[in-house]
Amino acid sequence: MNNKVHWSFWLIGILALIFNIMGCINFFSQMSADSVSTLPEQYRAIVEARPAWATAAFSVAVFGGALAVLLLLFRKSAAFYVFIASLIGAVAAQIPIFGIADFPVEALIGGLIQIILTVFLIWYSKLAERKGWIS
């Protein structure tokens, strides 16, 4: 393993970790009835109508993403596989949104950002492995 890692590796890892920690905080806030009651009606409808499997997928997406970034920062190639699980969770978590009439586009955009970032991190973890930054 090459011990000299490009500075961008650490920047990308830290920013990705912050993003995924925000997702974990979002997950916990959506599990709190008090917190959900303060949401605008459209967002509350999404959270309340979401089936258990989609909530589970949401948890895999955010907690898996946070774990994968930690693995990346610890320079472990297993991050690649955990990012894939996170991506599957992120895609699955978005499916129920389409069944809600008049869903806020912002809710979909947040999920799409998570999906795009996770696809990037899957690619980036393979790049880091090829460069010898992780093993």
Tell me the average pLDDT across 82-98: 93
The one-letter amino acid code at 119 reads V
**pTM score of the predicted model:** 0.90
For 23-68, the pLDDT digits (tens) are 999 999 999 999 999 988 888 888 888 899 999 999 999 999 999 9
Q: What is the pLDDT of residue 106?
A: 79
Are 58 and 94 in contact, with CB atoms under 8 Å apart? no
Query: 3-class SS at 58?
Result: helix
Give residue 54's Cα distance to chain centre: 14
Are 1 and 133 in contact, with CB atoms under 8 Å apart? yes
Percentage of the chain exceeding pLDDT 90: 74
Give residue 20's Cα distance to chain centre: 5
